[in-house]
Amino acid sequence: MVRGARFVLAHVPGLVFCGSKPRREFAARDGDLRAMLRRRLRPFSAAVTYPPHQVMLGALAPEALRGIPRPWHLHPIVGAGPEGPAGTMIDEMTFYAWLARADTANLVHFTEEFALRLEGLGVTGRPTALTADRLARALADHGEPLYDRQETTVGVVVPGHEQDEALSAAVLLENLAAKVTGALALSRLLDDAQTPEINYLLGCGEEAVGDRYQRGGGNLAKAIGELAGVRTAGGADVKAFCAAPLHGLLMAGALVASGVHRRVVVVAGGSLAKLGMKFRGHLAADYPILEDVLAGVAIDVVADDGRSPVLRLDTATVHRIEDGVAPHQMAKALTLAPLQAAGLRMRDVDRYAVELHDPDITEPAGSGDVPAGNYQMIAALAAQSGEIARADMPAFVEAHGMPGFSPTQGHIASAIPYLPHAVAGLTGGALTRVQFIAKGSLFLGRMTTMGDGVSVLLERNPAR
């Protein structure tokens, strides 16, 4: 059973300068690219009222985005707040305070003035503060600067080892950012569930934690649990690119169903590297920089409680090595085949949760509308199998799909942003069945030409 899922969005405009794409573009090009980016960074209030973020927080249904003209940043939800039934949004100061609290190796330091302000938030004790001279020396000695939205240097992350690339300051900042956002999502989930005891944590983020002899050694799950105040759980990580959360969900379901553990939480932090990934497209379109949030997630998997939606493990499907990787082959293997095996029609699935990237982020960069492309493929499968007429494909997409609303945080965007909405719809709402479909681009790691994919059905509990 999936009892619930919670998200945390950390609005970190100052960290956009540390994203992989901005970092490389600044190094490769002259001119005022940094200043252009800085001028287009949003304040926290604009990030909170941004309609897709309100969907992530569960305060707005995905379908409601259809009624809001695009681009959505021009139509903020007036009066919207940073708390929703499915999650919480935090500002940059709060994030930095948690970064200080998460830093068990004493590698994160702030300016004296900023450290005082962070202490005042009550999240952490006084973080280590450096004088201006010492801060400058740390930055010159391979430190990674921490900025605010005005690109003022407010702190530094220093390397964990002077010769180890796996412990460089930039890598450590990525890993700490994942730890913080994962832990905050887990905390929010535990606060809402009001039952603190977890037996196992499965991490499924995109970070690579380790040293030179164990690059990507992992088990951030336990570090996330520790920071969130969990004491009863063990844990391990699942690695599968963007498909990892659904692989993790299947494993969590199996661990609970087999009786190995009573309660497993699948958890992941956000991807700092992807901040500002498409900033050049946003600058060209005169948009704000929309990739300015880190997203964390926690998914609660429990034994049957007579209420929570059922994870149909009998319909769990993974993309096999012998399966083809063309889009239609993957869609068929992950969508149609498991439904046919379960004796279901495609129309029997109320909603398909696919890669739910916010199209306002991807379209200005020329990447198109990713969920719309996926729904087109699913509708084509329904037409090809004779379930619907070709002319009914748009109506099928309208009825069984949804607009994209997720930040382009890779694993986070991969089907799971719909989980809180699905759980609500399958318990108190009108939904009966949702199929979750995730894909992963394994080929990006240069070890194979394969892709990957996972799908599973979530259904209303028969006891309801």
Q: Does residue 368 touch another protein according to CB under 8 A?
A: yes
Residue 211 backbone zone (phi > 0: left; psi -120 to 50: alpha; other: beta): beta
| In the complex, least distance from residue 141 CB atom to another protein, rounded to whole angstroms | 29
| In the complex, least distance from residue 415 CB atom to another protein, rounded to whole angstroms | 11
Contacts of 185 (CB under 8 A, 6+ apart): 6, 7, 8, 87, 267, 268, 269, 296, 297, 298
- Asked if 301 and 263 count as a contact pair (C-beta separation under 8 A), the reply is yes
Secondary structure element (H or E) that encloses residue 389, with its range: none
Residue from the set 74, 105, 303, 444 that interacts with another protein by CB under 8 A: 444
| In the complex, least distance from residue 94 CB atom to another protein, rounded to whole angstroms | 27
Beginning with the edge strand found earlier in the chain, give each strand of the sheet holding 263-268 in spatial order. Answer: 83-84, 87-90, 2-11, 293-302, 263-268, 200-203, 234-237
Cα Rg of the chain (Å, integer): 22
Nearest to residue 278, comparing CAs of 288, 292, 294, 291? Answer: 291
Contacts of 416 (CB under 8 A, 6+ apart): 5, 245, 246, 249, 297, 299, 353, 436, 438
- x/- site string to another protein, residues 139 to 158, per CB under 8 A? --------------------
Q: Which is nearer to another protein, 336 or 413 (CB)?
A: 413
Q: Which is nearer to another protein, 263 or 278 (CB)?
A: 278
Q: Which is nearer to another protein, 43 or 368 (CB)?
A: 368
Cα separation, 149 vs 15, in Å, equals: 8
Q: Does residue 462 touch another protein according to CB under 8 A?
A: no
Q: Does residue 370 touch another protein according to CB under 8 A?
A: yes
| Residue whose structure tokens are 């998914």 | 299
Q: Which is nearer to another protein, 124 or 367 (CB)?
A: 367
| In the complex, least distance from residue 397 CB atom to another protein, rounded to whole angstroms | 18
Kindly state the tokens that stand for 273: 């590297």
| In the complex, least distance from residue 373 CB atom to another protein, rounded to whole angstroms | 9
| In the complex, least distance from residue 207 CB atom to another protein, rounded to whole angstroms | 16
Q: How far is residue 388 from each of residues 346, 384, 436, measured CA to CA in Å? A: 9, 8, 21
Q: Does residue 20 touch another protein according to CB under 8 A?
A: yes
Cis peptide before 327 (omega within 30 of 0): no
Candidates 3-11, 146-154, 179-187, 437-445: pick the segment binding another protein (CB under 8 A): 437-445
Q: Does residue 439 touch another protein according to CB under 8 A?
A: yes
**Strand blocks (E) in 126-168:** 129-130, 144-147, 153-157
| In the complex, least distance from residue 131 CB atom to another protein, rounded to whole angstroms | 38
Q: Does residue 443 touch another protein according to CB under 8 A?
A: yes
Cα separation, 93 vs 118, in Å, equals: 7
Q: Which is nearer to another protein, 153 or 409 (CB)?
A: 409
Q: Does residue 365 touch another protein according to CB under 8 A?
A: yes
Cα separation, 150 vs 144, in Å, equals: 17
Residue from the set 367, 385, 427, 432 that interacts with another protein by CB under 8 A: 367
User: CB burial class (10 A; 0-12, 13-18, 19+) of residue 29?
Assistant: exposed
Cα separation, 190 vs 229, in Å, equals: 10
Q: Which is nearer to another protein, 187 or 362 (CB)?
A: 362
- x/- site string to another protein, residues 334 to 363, per CB under 8 A? ---------------------x-x---xx-
Candidates 63-71, 224-232, 379-387, 440-448: pick the segment binding another protein (CB under 8 A): 440-448
Residue from the set 3, 6, 11, 21 that interacts with another protein by CB under 8 A: 21
- x/- site string to another protein, residues 389 to 428, per CB under 8 A? -------------------x-x--x---------------
| In the complex, least distance from residue 361 CB atom to another protein, rounded to whole angstroms | 8
Enumerate residues 264-323 that contact another protein by CB under 8 A: 277-278
Enumerate residues 98-117 that contact another protein by CB under 8 A: none
293-302 and 351-353 as β-strands: parallel, antiparallel, unpaired? unpaired
Q: Does residue 366 touch another protein according to CB under 8 A?
A: yes
The amino acid at 282: H
Kindly state the tokens that stand for 333: 């293997």
Q: Which is nearer to another protein, 199 or 329 (CB)?
A: 329
Residue from the set 128, 432, 441, 461 that interacts with another protein by CB under 8 A: 441
Kindly state the tokens that stand for 429: 């709402």
| In the complex, least distance from residue 435 CB atom to another protein, rounded to whole angstroms | 17
Contacts of 112 (CB under 8 A, 6+ apart): 129, 130, 131
| In the complex, least distance from residue 120 CB atom to another protein, rounded to whole angstroms | 38
What does the binding site for another protein look like in residue numbers (CB under 8 A)?
20-21, 241-242, 277-278, 326-327, 355, 357, 361-362, 365-368, 370, 408, 410, 413, 439, 441, 443-444
